[in-house]
């Protein structure tokens, strides 16, 4: 069973460990965050900045936890404005291919509607990231155009009816 927890200050050490453990895995499909991101002091400052954005209602950050309470992924709603937000997510290597991203995205879509009052979500992924594209399509996101992601060809998705299960 997966649970989503809203990001808190006490998550910082476990989150840094998760990101460091999966750095190389994530860098295979998305741009690496750079060495400074993984330095303890810099990470702590960034974590506090994320919490401030969350407190201001600009973003909603969530950790995906497995049945033992370990972080296996993240799913975030960023740049909240006019009832819409951008969806972002990542699942660690040990949990990949097990339906974790699909389930976490489904859960955050429900939360976007019921908890945050959002009416639509957008998401982008690279054209060659078939796993991410499948997660979005399984969760009723529709392709709305082309884009670039980190300089690579990408696809823009949108989901406008968050009141349904997808």
Lowest-pLDDT range, 28-37, 41-50, 107-116?
Answer: 28-37
For every residue of 77-145, DSSP letters joined together read: EEEEETTEEEEEEEE-GGGTTTTHHHHHHHHHHHHHHHTT---EEEEEEETT-HHHHHHHHHTT-EEEE
Starting at the earlier edge strand, list the strands of the sheet with 60-65.
3-6, 60-65, 71-81, 84-91, 120-126, 152-159, 142-149
Confidence bin at 166 (pLDDT 50/70/90):
low
On whether the CB atoms of residues 136 and 81 are closer than 8 A, the answer is no
On whether the CB atoms of residues 120 and 156 are closer than 8 A, the answer is no
Percent of the chain with pLDDT over 90: 82
Which pLDDT does position 150 carry in this prediction? 82
Which pLDDT does position 32 carry in this prediction? 73
Confidence bin at 38 (pLDDT 50/70/90):
confident
Across the chain, how many H-helices and E-strands are there? 5, 7
Architecture in CATH of 3-159: 3-Layer(aba) Sandwich (3.40)
Mean pLDDT of 121-133: 94
Distance CA 14, CA 103 (A): 21
- Per-residue pLDDT tens over the stretch 61-76: 999 999 999 999 999 9
Mean pLDDT of 82-97: 96
Which pLDDT does position 164 carry in this prediction? 77
Instruction: Report domain extents, the chain.
Output: 3-159
């Amino acid at each position: 069973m997966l649970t989503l927890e809203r990001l808190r200050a006490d998550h910082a050490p476990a989150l840094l460990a998760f990101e460091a453990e999966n750095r190389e895995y994530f860098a295979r499909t998305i741009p690496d965050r750079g060495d400074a991101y993984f330095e303890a002091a810099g990470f702590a400052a960034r974590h506090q900045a994320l919490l401030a954005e969350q407190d201001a209602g600009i973003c909603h950050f969530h950790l995906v936890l497995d049945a033992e309470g370990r972080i296996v992924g993240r799913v975030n709603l960023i740049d909240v404005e006019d009832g819409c937000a951008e969806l972002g997510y990542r699942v660690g290597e040990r949990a990949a291919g097990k339906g974790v991203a699909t389930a976490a995205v489904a859960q955050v879509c429900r939360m976007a509607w019921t908890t945050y009052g959002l009416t639509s979500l957008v998401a982008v992924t690279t054209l060659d990231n078939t796993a991410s594209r499948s997660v979005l399509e399984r969760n009723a996101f529709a392709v709305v155009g082309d884009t670039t992601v980190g300089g690579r060809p990408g696809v823009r998705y949108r989901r406008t009816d968050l009141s349904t299960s997808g």
